[in-house]
Every structure is written in C-alpha cells, then in structure tokens.
Amino acid sequence: MVKVRFIEPSGDVRDLEGAVGQSAMEIAVAAGVDGIEAQCGGALSCATCHVYVASEWADRIPTANDLEADMLGFATSEVRENSRLSCQIKLTEALDGLELEIPG
C-alpha cells in the first residue's frame, strides 16, 4: 500500500492508503476528502480534482501531458507551478508518503 497525505482546504490532514496503480483521486473520492469532487470520474475532462504537489515530491511524479496542462486552465482555484490533477497521479511505491494540498 502507498500512503498519501491530503491537506484539505480547512487545513485538516487526511492520511490515506491506496494500491499501486490507483490514482490519488480514486483514494480521495473513496474516503470523502473535502475538495476533490472528481466530476468526470478521472476521465481527464474536468479540473475538479486539482491539487498542489508538495515541492519535495514534484520531481518524482511524471510531468503533466498537454491535455492535463490544458485542463488545469479550467481549475476554479489558482493554478501554480506545482498544480496537478490528482486523477493523473498514479500511485507507485516511489510515491509512498506523497503530500497533496487541496486548493480552497
């Protein structure tokens, strides 16, 4: 299992676990994490699973492809250099301990 820390907009911290191959969005939705709506269910056709990746993890996650980068333009919160769609973050053993902040 891969541990992922979600920091909700309220500041509450949710430590969750998911299986290798699952997306960060999938485990957040299953646990009812505040701020991860995932309206498209992970089909990369909305930006309602927008997160900020903690700086120490940024180089361990593959770079966003063009479609994800375009979709981030539809995010309702500020898009930053460390913005990603959590549906596109696939869990691997190398991501054990990943920290994601959910924009307010």
Give the per-residue pLDDT at 44: 92
Ranges of the chain with pLDDT below 70: none
Q: What is the pTM of this model?
A: 0.94
CA proximity to 83, closest of 56, 60, 102: 102
Residue 100, token pair as written in the block: 């994601």
Task: Give the chain's domains with CATH numbers.
Answer: 2-101 (3.10.20.30)
Give the per-residue pLDDT at 75: 94
Give the per-residue pLDDT at 104: 87
Strand 2-7 and strand 98-101: the pairing is parallel
pLDDT in tens, 27-39: 999 999 999 999 9
How do the residues of the chain divide into helix, strand and coil, expressed in percent and rounded to 5? 25, 25, 50
Dist CA 45 CA 31 (whole Å): 22
